[in-house]
Structure 1
């Protein structure tokens, strides 16, 4: 069983298929592509891997879920407990042959398997466990609605369904207090030390003698600078269109749009904008360079006339010159730059750096004002708690500064 993504009439589809590329079931295909139609392609792919884990586990335990649902039985409490245990472990460990030969419901055997592989290596993060359980619950509920329909489920079937769901949800893990404390401490640290950040900005300039790229220096520089000054996501840059760039009037804005499964985008792996639509300010000088790139560089590639995406492939290694730039190509830019500065920089790290600088720029504002501005700039919804997370970063920094000052005074008196 494997997860595949493919284009169908311009839309990206996700499926679970066998070795012959035959979908493993009607239900899984409908669940991923219709039930989850409002999700981005990347999110659907993530859900597909979580569903693959559950379906592989069912096969291992010789459980026919559809037959169970038709009978109104679902999963027993023991089976729910067994799956919740399995959801804590890496797939290649818990679904291995040596585990399948054991009593499928034995927590003891499972614990032994974990120990044999080493707990630290075999355990997955709580977020992975929780995502597996949530997808499993949603899929079981989906199958139930497909089999029994809406509003016509017998009481005993509804009771068994709710019992299964409740028992599975009990398996969701909480982050340990130590992990939370570690994460909170890291928020007081800069995601990229300033000296490394400034070096990063210096070498990306096309004129820099340390620029590690032989080709596409202007394009690469523009991509990085847009990410740095706006804090937007990698996907938003990859899907940026010429019509999203405001070159009239003050010429200082780009529109961050949300167009799930864009029919004009023929990339198999389509970039997406996770957050809400908004507008980002871009310095007019940078906008002028984007305009120059579009008119003087991009226009040299005939294939670029077939689409509106700003950034394109400029290499003909696979006959893709002029095509919209892929997400993997943007990742490669960061891989090259990371090697050049000897520090691992990735697109989302720049988003964290933007938020750090935003915290400094809004230090004189109240938390409420800073949160409102930050939510708009990041494209977060009104109910998002991400702004509060970054405002805590401001507080963590202030606490750290106070503590450093106080401890320095103490140490000066004790030495």
Structure 2
């Protein structure tokens, strides 16, 4: 990696209105490319898109923009290392050759080397072992998922399209303009073949019968998250961490919903304790640089009376003892260090979940808890005799999904596999004749 690309980074800033936004910068402060950042923080709806009449006029949510920023940083660094200025290429009407696209696709399949080399992992190899070492490591570079590959290619296509619109869109028809349009369409057609092909490239096969969290691990998790559990892996903040995990496990909400939860969102109704899950992107009262967001629609989330009592206990004791909490209304706070009293961050919750995963001996992340909630929800709903249609309607409400969402099949792949296997087994037992003779019962 050359010196220029090593100095390129994604940084988060706040504007005068308090809204957070990402920028791709060089040497710490200078925008890496004005076009790159204009595309990143502008309206992502292209006039060339077939969905232009249905598209929102709003910019993507902050965390989507942050993801775009890292995708753009990847492609920007790649092309400057190749000595290719994308802005100059598109403005000249030349775009990218097939070989240049091929080379980029190959690079996209590998992890970007964001860090530095750990010298402790460098092993000296004798001349005698060089040939074997080269052979053994020739295919060992870590590969990205098909989804990551697809997103990187889509980001290049979208950025090239943005530059085309800036330099060539809606110009008077001439022979030169016709040639540029033709070159642009050829580029899109060629890269689309790779984007379409990524759907078939994911070689990781998931066993549909495998629960997202094995039952024995899940029951152990329910025990060790308790503040009173001797197996609790935390030395401090045990009540807060228990509440966070209980909300994630019991309700199936995303991490963003937990981080956004405010004291004023709690409704301590004797018959139906609950909290409001709101949609307030870039909440001006939120002091965090990376403000949490809620991807789902606003809804009311029911919780148990016991959980509500514990939340109120936390608010009236741990939270109330920190005077910094008078500056905001968010429930869960950092309890030590320079950020004590400030609203908890994404990084903090992921650390909590990671540590519990280590205690379980499995890789655990918050979204697995959302998947597990769906498995448990399906079991309980069936026990109540609910129809599949009713179960799906209730699930969509609880998850905050829109009416035409297809997410139910994604989250409940395990239950679908079990149901299909059960039906298949019963069908086979009727269709296959008994073997062995009359003495078999």
Where on the TM-score scale, by shorter chain, does this alignment land: which range?
Answer: 0.7 to 0.9
Query: 2: CA distance between counterparts of 1:178 and 1:310?
Result: 40
Check conservation: 2:224, 2:230, Cα contact below 8 A.
yes
Alignment-derived partner of residue 134 in structure 1: 154
Pick one of 180, 185, 188 that aligns with 1:165: 188
Alignment-derived partner of residue 7 in structure 1: 14
Query: 1: CA distance between counterparts of 2:264 and 2:228?
Result: 29
Give the superposed CA RMSD: 3.0
Pick one of 201, 207, 211 that aligns with 1:190: 211
Alpha-carbon distance, 1:171 to partner: 1.0
Is 1:313 aligned with 2:337? no
Change (3 A) 1:6 1:66: same
Query: 2: CA distance between counterparts of 1:199 and 1:411?
Result: 42
Query: 2: CA distance between counterparts of 1:287 and 1:152?
Result: 65
**Counterparts of 1:231-310 in structure 2 under 5 Å?**
231-248=252-269, 250-310=271-331
Q: Deviations over 1:274-295 (max 9, x none)?
A: 2222222111221222122222
Query: 2: CA distance between counterparts of 1:268 and 1:412?
Result: 69
Aligned residues: 389
Is 1:27 aligned with 2:35? yes
Alpha-carbon distance, 1:69 to partner: 2.1
Change (3 A) 1:285 1:337: same
**Which deviates the most, 220-229 or 164-173?**
164-173
Alignment-derived partner of residue 344 in structure 1: 363
Query: 2: CA distance between counterparts of 1:410 and 1:338?
Result: 47
**Which deviates the most, 80-89 or 21-30?**
80-89
**Counterparts of 1:317-328 in structure 2 under 5 Å?**
317-318=337-338, 320-328=339-347
Bigger share in helix = 1
Query: 2: CA distance between counterparts of 1:309 and 1:197?
Result: 29
Alignment-derived partner of residue 333 in structure 1: 352
Check conservation: 2:272, 2:302, Cα contact below 8 A.
no
Pick one of 239, 255, 267 that aligns with 1:218: 239
Alignment-derived partner of residue 58 in structure 1: 79
Alpha-carbon distance, 1:234 to partner: 1.1
SS in 2 for 1:196: helix
Q: Deviations over 1:242-293 (max 9, x none)?
A: 2222224645221222222222212122222222222221112212221222
Alpha-carbon distance, 1:402 to partner: 5.7
Query: 2: CA distance between counterparts of 1:151 and 1:243?
Result: 54
Check conservation: 2:334, 2:343, Cα contact below 8 A.
yes
Check conservation: 1:304, 1:323, Cα contact below 8 A.
yes
Query: 2: CA distance between counterparts of 1:361 and 1:84?
Result: 46
Q: Deviations over 1:367-399 (max 9, x none)?
A: 433222222211222332211234543220123
Check conservation: 2:266, 2:275, Cα contact below 8 A.
yes
Check conservation: 1:15, 1:28, Cα contact below 8 A.
no
> Unaligned 5+ residue runs, structure 2?
1-7, 45-57, 115-133
- Normalised by the length of structure 2, the TM-score is 0.79
> Unaligned 5+ residue runs, structure 1?
94-113
Alignment-derived partner of residue 100 in structure 1: none
Alignment-derived partner of residue 62 in structure 2: 41
Alpha-carbon distance, 1:216 to partner: 1.7
Whose radius of gyration is greater, 1 or 2?
Answer: 2
Pick one of 203, 207, 223 that aligns with 2:224: 203
Check conservation: 1:81, 1:171, Cα contact below 8 A.
no
Q: Deviations over 1:182-209 (max 9, x none)?
A: 22x2x32211122221121112112222
Alpha-carbon distance, 1:120 to partner: 4.9
Is 1:83 aligned with 2:110? no
Q: Deviations over 1:300-322 (max 9, x none)?
A: 1111111111101111x22x111
**Which deviates the most, 70-79 or 161-170?**
70-79
- Normalised by the length of structure 1, the TM-score is 0.84
Check conservation: 1:247, 1:291, Cα contact below 8 A.
no
Alignment-derived partner of residue 111 in structure 1: none
Change (3 A) 1:40 1:133: same
SS in 2 for 1:279: strand
**Which deviates the most, 275-284 or 84-93?**
84-93
Query: 2: CA distance between counterparts of 1:314 and 1:338?
Result: 22
Check conservation: 1:311, 1:324, Cα contact below 8 A.
yes
Query: 2: CA distance between counterparts of 1:412 and 1:197?
Result: 40
Alpha-carbon distance, 1:89 to partner: 2.8
Alignment-derived partner of residue 400 in structure 2: 379
Alpha-carbon distance, 1:150 to partner: 5.3
Change (3 A) 1:412 1:230: farther
Query: 1: CA distance between counterparts of 2:202 and 2:112?
Result: 25
Change (3 A) 1:70 1:179: closer
